[in-house]
């Protein structure tokens, strides 16, 4: 086992190269300490609220938040963290939007659904990235607290590797809080197991092309929320400019009032 290389201040060209060849890039310092502290606090509260919503029912995403943007706060201001957005836009262009916005929290001496060997996108189109993911570290990732495993170069591999093949060549995301693990969503990876007595928190983003459907219709899910503090960039990334018209009135509306206003892919 070896740790994945940590990059500092990579250029867009370097990011594109790494994602194209290795399938991933681990970048240090994409979130400042004050943001990390606030996001960690907000996430702990959101995990508790999500558990309460399930009322004791078993669910596979336990200890994870399904739609982080429903909880406001740091989950909205994430999109104004330029170093977080830069790798996505370097690979997919400024028009990319959120496909899924979840979390990856591991409880003390436990794990979550991410521990299986998996990819985050079912489509494999040679030479074209439809989805790109990121795990954004709100705690240090260590061997002991469940640091993610990844298989370098496996983003071009259609079939899942065997456990023997995967763990023989896998690397781990050993990195400090504030780092980001960015990857082609076709990269085979797996969460570890938290063997410590402390929670280990992270945010997870999956970005897609703006003509694609989101896993959950985020603008509709947020329709009853006060969006007055949502920045223009957050609004675009969350898909508010890529909505499909729901009526003839919306379809024939003046350009400024149309649901789909996305300019780039």
**What's the pTM value of the predicted model, to 2 decimals?**
0.95
- Residue 28's contacts (CB-CB under 8 Å, 6 or more residues apart) are 6, 7, 8, 175, 176, 178, 179
- The string of DSSP codes covering 1-31 is -EEPPEESS--HHHHHHHHHHTSEEEETTSS
Count of alpha carbons within 13 angstroms of residue 256, beta-carbon side:
0
For 45-104, write each residue's pLDDT tens digit.
999 999 999 998 888 888 899 999 999 999 999 999 999 999 999 999 999 999 999 999
At 142, phi and psi to the nearest 5? -130, 170
Query: With contact defined as beta carbons under 8 Å apart, do 147 and 195 qualify?
Result: no
pLDDT tens-digit series, residues 172-218? 999 999 999 999 999 999 999 999 999 999 999 999 999 999 999 99
DSSP 155: G
Of 239, 238, 242, 262, the residue nearest 76 (C-alpha)? 238
Q: Which domains does the chain have, with CATH numbers?
A: 2-257 (2.60.120.620)
CA-based nearest residue to 76, from 101, 108, 44, 109? 101
């Amino acid at each position: 086992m070896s740790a994945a290389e940590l990059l500092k201040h990579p250029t867009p060209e370097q990011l594109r190269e790494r994602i194209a060849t290795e399938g991933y890039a681990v970048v240090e310092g994409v979130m400042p300490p004050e943001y990390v502290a606030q996001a960690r606090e907000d996430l702990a509260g959101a995990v508790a609220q999500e558990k309460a919503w399930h009322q004791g029912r078993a669910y596979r995403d336990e200890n994870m938040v399904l739609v982080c943007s429903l909880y406001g706060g740091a989950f909205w201001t994430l999109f104004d963290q330029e170093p977080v957005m830069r790798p996505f836009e370097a690979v997919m262009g400024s028009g990319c939007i959120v496909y899924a916005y979840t979390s990856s929290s591991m409880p003390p001496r436990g794990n979550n659904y991410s521990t299986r060997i998996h990819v985050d996108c079912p489509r494999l189109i040679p030479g074209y990235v439809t989805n790109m993911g990121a795990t954004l570290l709100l705690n240090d990732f260590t061997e002991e607290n469940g640091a993610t495993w990844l298989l370098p170069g496996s983003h071009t591999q259609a079939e899942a590797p065997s456990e023997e093949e995967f763990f023989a060549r896998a690397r781990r995301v050993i990195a400090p809080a504030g780092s980001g693990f960015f990857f082609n969503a076709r990269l085979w990876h797996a969460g570890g197991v938290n063997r410590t007595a402390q929670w280990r928190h992270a945010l997870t983003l999956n970005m897609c092309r703006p003509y694609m459907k989101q896993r959950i219709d985020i603008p509709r899910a947020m329709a009853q929320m006060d969006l007055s503090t949502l920045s223009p960039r957050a609004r675009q990334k969350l898909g508010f400019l890529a909505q499909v018209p729901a009526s003839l009135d919306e379809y024939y509306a003046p350009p400024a009032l149309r649901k789909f206003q996305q300019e780039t892919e």
